[in-house]
């Protein structure tokens, strides 16, 4: 009704020819079969009595026979095509089921892997000879959370109890500290002596952040904090006192588009000048700021004005 009142065309129905294909496919699910002959016994009885009635019955029997033959011929033709279509349809269904099963298994394995990482963040941690963590995603892990970073921001991933909603969390993001708590204490599990603490994360940040640009959200059974850095440096850890990563192993490469316009221009200028030097061509400064000096014949050199004036004064003194 809303679409009619606002004069919006309805996007309903099938494309041209789709309805006919569906109808034919529905009929082909029920292949034709041979029907028992009608009136065969009556024709034999009438022939025994003889007479005109017998002739008429025989003609009817012949006519019925012809019709049956035609029906048999007609039935044989679509039956073959029906068997082929049924085979193709069943094969397609099997392929769809197989692909669906593969996708389900991949999704399940990915979900299990993610849950395992949230339950035990320290499972795959590797250390350097100095005892620092080797960075993963330019970040690291603690017993409470995993974290990654770019030069501009840090992301903290914290596992939360199943069924946790946004209103169940008390998240406080300050310029130099973080606090994440559950509004209700989680229930105690069978294999635990004490109920888990409602405090999921709390401590002082290693560097200051911009609170107005920092956010948090619930994604796939995890709380994700995105912290915008004030100082664009690589963090060794998120909270003071937690395990540190080796920042010398951080992948510090960046795309040119991630820099501001002035930095992008400077980088492109450097790349252009390097290319020009490799090709033996003038650099950007030489093209824009200086006129190119043509090559001189052997034994001839240019002398600037100061050198010329100095030589002239020496000759005059002598």
pLDDT tens by residue, 167-193: 999 999 999 999 999 988 777 666 666
CB 148 within 8 A of CB 137: yes
CB 173 within 8 A of CB 211: yes
Q: In this structure, is the dihedral angle defined by the CA atoms of residues 252, 258, 260 and 263, taken in order, positive or negative?
A: positive
Span 32-46, average pLDDT: 59
pTM strictly above 0.85: no
Span 222-236, average pLDDT: 94
Half-sphere exposure at residue 255, Cβ-oriented, CA atoms within 13 angstroms: 2
Q: In this structure, is the dihedral angle defined by the CA atoms of residues 79, 80, 86 and 87, taken in order, positive or negative?
A: positive
Span 264-286, average pLDDT: 87
pLDDT, greater one: 267 or 17: 267
Confidence bin at 69 (pLDDT 50/70/90): very low
The answer to whether residue 308 scores a pLDDT higher than 50 is yes
The answer to whether residue 58 scores a pLDDT higher than 50 is no
Span 143-156, average pLDDT: 94
Residue 83, pLDDT score: 52
CB 84 within 8 A of CB 90: no
Average pLDDT, the chain: 75
The answer to whether residue 103 scores a pLDDT higher than 90 is no
- Write out the two tokens for 171: 């998240």
Backbone phi, psi, residue 226, to 5°: -115, 115
Span 268-273, average pLDDT: 88
Least confident of 22-36, 162-176, 214-228, 248-262: 22-36
Residue 122, pLDDT score: 76
Residue 157, pLDDT score: 95
pLDDT, greater one: 42 or 100: 100
Span 194-221, average pLDDT: 90
The answer to whether residue 155 scores a pLDDT higher than 80 is yes
Residue 45, pLDDT score: 47
Confidence bin at 55 (pLDDT 50/70/90): very low
pLDDT, greater one: 264 or 83: 264
Confidence bin at 211 (pLDDT 50/70/90): very high
Q: Which of 152, 154, 149 is nearest to 178 (CA)?
A: 154
The answer to whether residue 96 scores a pLDDT higher than 80 is no
pLDDT, greater one: 114 or 262: 262
């Amino acid at each position: 009704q809303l679409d009619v009142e606002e004069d919006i065309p309805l996007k309903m129905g099938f494309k041209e020819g789709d309805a006919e294909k569906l109808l034919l496919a529905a009929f082909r699910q029920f292949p034709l079969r041979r029907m028992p002959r009608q009136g065969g016994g009556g024709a034999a009885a009438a022939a025994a009595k003889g007479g005109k009635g017998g002739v008429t019955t025989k003609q009817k029997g012949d006519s019925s026979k012809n019709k049956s033959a035609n029906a048999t011929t007609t039935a044989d033709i679509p039956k073959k095509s029906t068997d082929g279509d049924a085979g193709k349809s069943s094969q397609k269904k099997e392929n769809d089921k197989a692909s669906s099963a593969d996708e389900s298994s991949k999704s399940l394995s990915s979900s299990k892997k993610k849950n395992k990482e949230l339950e035990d963040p320290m499972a795959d941690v590797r250390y350097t000879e100095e005892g620092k963590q080797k960075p993963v995603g330019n970040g690291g892990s603690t017993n409470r959370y995993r974290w990654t970073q770019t030069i501009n921001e840090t992301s903290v991933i914290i596992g939360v109890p199943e069924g946790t909603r946004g209103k169940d969390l008390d998240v406080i993001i300050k310029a130099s500290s973080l606090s994440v708590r559950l509004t209700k204490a989680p229930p105690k599990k069978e294999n635990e002596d004490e109920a888990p603490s409602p405090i999921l994360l709390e401590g002082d940040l290693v560097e200051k952040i911009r609170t107005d640009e920092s956010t948090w959200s619930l994604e796939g059974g995890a709380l994700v904090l995105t912290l915008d850095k004030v100082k664009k440096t690589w963090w060794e850890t998120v909270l003071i006192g937690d395990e540190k990563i080796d920042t010398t192993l951080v992948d510090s490469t960046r795309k040119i588009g991630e820099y501001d316009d002035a930095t992008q221009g400077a980088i492109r200028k450097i790349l252009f000048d390097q290319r020009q030097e490799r090709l033996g061509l003038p650099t950007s400064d030489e093209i824009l700021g200086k006129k190119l000096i043509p090559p001189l014949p052997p034994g001839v050199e240019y002398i600037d004005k100061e050198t010329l004036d100095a030589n002239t004064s020496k000759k005059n003194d002598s």
